[in-house]
Amino acid sequence: MNDRSPARTGRGGAGEEYTGPWLPEPLLSDPYQDPERSAELADSVSMAALLLLERLSPLERSVFVLRDVFAFGFDEIATAVGRSEAACRQLLVRARQHMKAGRPRFTADRQERQELASRFFDALKDGDVDALRSLLAADVQMVGDGGGNAPNLARAVVGAENVARLLASAFPLMARVEVTFEPHEVNGQPGAVFRAPDGRILHTLSLEVLDGRIRAIRSVLNPDKLGHLGPVADAWAVHREVIQARRRTD
């Protein structure tokens, strides 16, 4: 799990501010390749959990990850962070409280999330504004993390109508230039991996589902965060092709 925050993930030296919204790197599979361990880690690597980790202090985050994700003993944790075991126990209590307070009260089960995602991606392929709007929460937020290194479809767009219209206008054009996507769980949530015509990774997209609606759509476009998934596409070249396709349509 990468420990990154807006002030630590700039393109330049330490302390450089990150460009635009920040999202965690997309994780597609359990690095342990163990079904039982995968189930234990599923909640810890979810997009919601990774975003919540950013709210913890560096010490709380370290203790929480070492204990609840990697199951280290308190003696090992104390040595790693340079604090007493008693202090580490208190840090863990505070970290768990912060994590619990930040989670949605009601979460969708896996089957509900997958069914909603399937309908969402069908509507996305068709560019169906009405179908997309019907799946989105009224206050849905769409956020894209390009880090200043890729064209960003949406730094932050809010509201079902705005998000549905943006998606319905953008993705049919991308399909026209042979951008494809494959459904894939991303950070414990339903999502997809988008690929350029040459098969290289273009970006990922994940959906947060709550109360039968999609409440957040998060896309990671920053090539610096995609390299671990495979060869990364030239997003700017694809963007130019999309613009040309739009002009031909107009």
> What pLDDT is attached to residue 108?
55
Whether 224 is in a domain gets the answer yes
Q: Kindly report each contact of residues 194-199 with a partner whose C-beta sits within 8 Å and lies 24 or more positions away, as own/partner.
A: 195/233, 196/233, 196/234, 196/235, 196/237, 196/238, 197/238, 198/233, 199/231
Whether 140 is in a domain gets the answer yes
Tell me the residue range of the domain where 190 lies.
110-249
More confident residue, 142 or 102: 142
State the CATH number of the domain containing residue 245: 3.10.450.50
> What pLDDT is attached to residue 194?
96
**Contact in structure between 100 and 88 (CB atoms under 8 Å):** no
**Contact in structure between 156 and 142 (CB atoms under 8 Å):** yes
**Contact in structure between 145 and 22 (CB atoms under 8 Å):** yes
Whether 100 is in a domain gets the answer no
Whether 72 is in a domain gets the answer no
Which pLDDT tens digit goes with each residue over 118-148? 999 999 999 999 999 999 999 999 999 998 8
Going by C-alpha positions, the residue among 31, 97, 36 that lies closest to residue 63 is 97
From residue 1, how far is each of 13, 30, 41, 90 by CA, in Å? 21, 11, 11, 22
Whether 44 is in a domain gets the answer no
Per-residue pLDDT averaged across 178-194, rounded? 90
Whether 74 is in a domain gets the answer no
Per-residue pLDDT at 178 exceeds 90: yes
Name the band, by pLDDT with cuts 50, 70 and 90, for residue 117: very high
From residue 237, how far is each of 147, 153, 196, 201, 249 by CA, in Å? 17, 14, 10, 13, 19
Report the number of distinct structural domains present in the chain.
1
Which pLDDT tens digit goes with each residue over 4-31? 333 333 333 334 577 788 888 888 754 4
Whether 89 is in a domain gets the answer no
Residues of the chain above pLDDT 90, percent: 42
pTM, two decimal places: 0.69
> What pLDDT is attached to residue 1?
36
